[in-house]
Amino acid sequence: MDLEPGEEIVFRGHPSWRSQTGLHLRAVALSLIAGVAVGIATRLADHRGQLGWIILAVVVVFAGMAGIGRLRRVQTRYSITDRRLAIETGLLTRELRQTRVERIQNVSSRQSLGERMLGIGTVEFDTAAGSGFDFSFHGVSDPGGIVRTLERTLHERHRGAVTEPFSAL
């Protein structure tokens, strides 16, 4: 997201790595399954297990899954400026969804018990754009802090601290 002259970033982030706990657990399970499969295959091939191949299989599968998780995380970028809210997604092709801060009507955060234990949650923004747009920051650290940051920005805006007119988005 390119900033306009005088525009200031108040929050920028990605989903937390903790939001991918399910992916990490699947990575461990698949790594162990790969290790067992390679162990059985090497045992059948030469009547003894090859520890080096087993370790290699576990490491390659886990690293691959961790890489996928990292790509999923960095392909999503959340930004709040004193003028706009933006969600950018994609690596090779990019999608940018944004709305002006003045169009935000309600901000809320939601955390399940598991998310509370992990210190993550979802911040939901109701905008004047209607239900056709989903402005939510999923899996972010400290969702309450993000809500407070935006509320401070909105308060300053309504108080007249930011008076520049919006340019075309």
Would you place residue 166 in the very low, low, confident or very high pLDDT band (cuts 50, 70, 90)?
A: very low
N-terminal to C-terminal alpha carbon distance within the chain: 11
pLDDT value at position 165? Answer: 47
* All residues at 6 or more sequence positions from 143 whose CB lies less than 8 Å from its CB, including other chains: 109, 110, 111, 120, 121, 122, 123, 137
pLDDT digits (tens, 9 = 90+) for 39-64: 999 888 887 778 888 999 999 999 99
DSSP 82: S
Q: What is the mean pLDDT of residues 66-89?
A: 91
* pLDDT digit string, tens, across residues 136-154: 999 999 999 999 988 888 8
Q: Domains (ranges, CATH) in the chain?
A: 20-72 (no CATH), 75-159 (2.30.29)
> Rounded to two decimals, what is the model's pTM?
0.76
169 close to 79: Cβ distance less than 8 angstroms: no
